[in-house]
Amino acid sequence: LYLNSATFVGDAGLALAAEVRTWRAGKVQLLLVHESDPAHGGCDFENFYATTPEDLVAGGLYSAPAVELYPPPHRDVSLALVAKTLGAVRRTLAARLSLDRLSALSTVEIARSSVARLSLAGRHAEKGRARRAARPLARVS
């Protein structure tokens, strides 16, 4: 769960809270990733206690430690920690050389790509919800 200043804020935040409740009910294990770089909407972790619905906080959403995404020059280390937490393993040079170009991406590049996709997906979902909310309701005859 990518946590930044927009997490659990507005209509998109309400929709995210509903998804998180569904995941938790289904016993989906969540990895909390806390964005601390202001260029990416980073904020103090305490902010989430004010914006997260009470039932999620009381239910232990923040009981597990979050992996923090630091700004450069420490960003790559943070991304490697995210990837490692997700199960990435270090490959030997010989193993990397025997793989094709795509699978030879470093752990840091994979994590950076994943975080970028999460960030973009959140922005696209928010825009989509705004467009749906702006549409006139269909008439029922």
Residue 141 is predicted with a pLDDT of 45
Residue 90 is predicted with a pLDDT of 77
Residue 19 is predicted with a pLDDT of 96
Residue 55 is predicted with a pLDDT of 97
Say if CB 59 and CB 24 are below 8 A apart.
Answer: yes
Instruction: Give the list of residues 6+ apart from residue 129 with CB closer than 8 angstroms, or none.
Output: 11, 12, 15
Residue 71 is predicted with a pLDDT of 94
Residue 94 is predicted with a pLDDT of 61
Residue 33, CA distances (Å) to 22, 99, 116, 129, 137 in order: 19, 29, 12, 24, 37
pLDDT tens, residue order, the chain (141 aa) = 999 999 999 999 999 999 999 999 999 999 999 999 999 999 999 999 999 999 999 999 999 999 999 999 999 999 999 999 988 887 766 666 665 555 545 666 666 776 777 766 666 566 665 565 555 554 554
